[in-house]
């Protein structure tokens, strides 16, 4: 009888230890602010992937921020001009508005971690590009949804807002071949941490 009681006690201790170990490995989502400043360039690609007469642009930026140095690569699709103008410009300046209809973004950090994001399709957010026809400059506001990543960003979620200022640099037959830009990305990212790990 005493031996059976001891066996039960030992089994109970082992079970308690296993449960405790499992609980330590449970991940918890941690909200963290995100900010990145960067500069780079835009190269339009002669392609219309969905028959809507809109073109793809390839964007590459080098930047730094809360999570260190990084390189970002994006593919952006602009919608066609639908007669809309940006209201922030003086009346004598013609600034047309082009909607963003698609965008994907991969940011690679110095340690190799990747962060993935895609265009937020909420119709009230109105991601768009404003083009000053006279001065050949651009301003854009882009709203993104974080869709995961690798390393620190595995399973990440959250939202990002990207504001850019660009200057059209290279032309051929009045077609833009390359633009330079600066951008600021701000938002909130939810990261998965394990309870037995310390934050970086």
Number of H helices, E strands in the chain: 1, 9
Neighbours of 126 (CB within 10 A): 12
CB 193 within 8 A of CB 27: yes
Query: What distance in Å separates the CA atoms of residue 103 and residue 120, rounded to the nearest whole number?
Result: 9
Residue at 21 is within a domain = no
Q: What is the pLDDT along the chain (200 residues), one digit of tens a residue?
A: 555 444 554 445 444 444 444 444 445 668 899 999 999 998 877 665 566 656 788 999 999 999 999 999 999 998 888 889 887 666 677 899 989 989 999 999 999 999 999 999 998 898 999 988 888 888 999 999 999 999 999 999 999 999 999 988 776 665 566 789 999 999 999 998 654 444 44
pTM for this entry = 0.77
> Tokens 């965008």 appear where?
103
CATH number at residue 87: 2.40.160
Domain presence at residue 17: no
**Residues spanned by the domain of 134:** 28-193
> Any alpha helices (H) in 34-138, and if so which ranges?
none
Q: How many domains does the chain have?
A: 1
């Amino acid at each position: 009888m005493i031996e059976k009681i001891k066996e039960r006690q030992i089994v109970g201790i082992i079970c308690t230890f296993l449960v405790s170990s499992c609980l330590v490995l449970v991940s918890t989502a941690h909200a963290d602010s995100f900010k990145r400043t960067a500069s780079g360039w835009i190269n339009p690609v002669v392609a219309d992937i969905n028959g809507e007469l809109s073109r793809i642009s390839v964007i590459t930026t080098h930047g730094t921020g809360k999570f260190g140095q990084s390189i970002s690569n994006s593919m952006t699709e602009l919608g066609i001009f639908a007669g809309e103008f940006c209201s922030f410009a003086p009346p004598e300046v013609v600034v047309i508005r082009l909607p963003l209809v698609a965008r994907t973004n991969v940011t690679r950090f110095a340690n190799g971690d990747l962060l993935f994001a895609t265009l937020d399709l909420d119709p009230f957010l109105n991601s768009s590009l404003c083009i000053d026809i006279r001065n050949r400059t651009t301003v854009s506001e882009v709203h993104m949804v974080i869709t995961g990543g690798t390393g620190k960003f595995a399973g990440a979620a959250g939202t990002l807002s990207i504001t850019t200022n660009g200057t059209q640099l290279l032309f051929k037959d009045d077609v833009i071949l390359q633009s330079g830009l600066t951008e600021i990305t701000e938002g909130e990212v939810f990261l998965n941490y394990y309870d037995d790990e310390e934050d970086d």
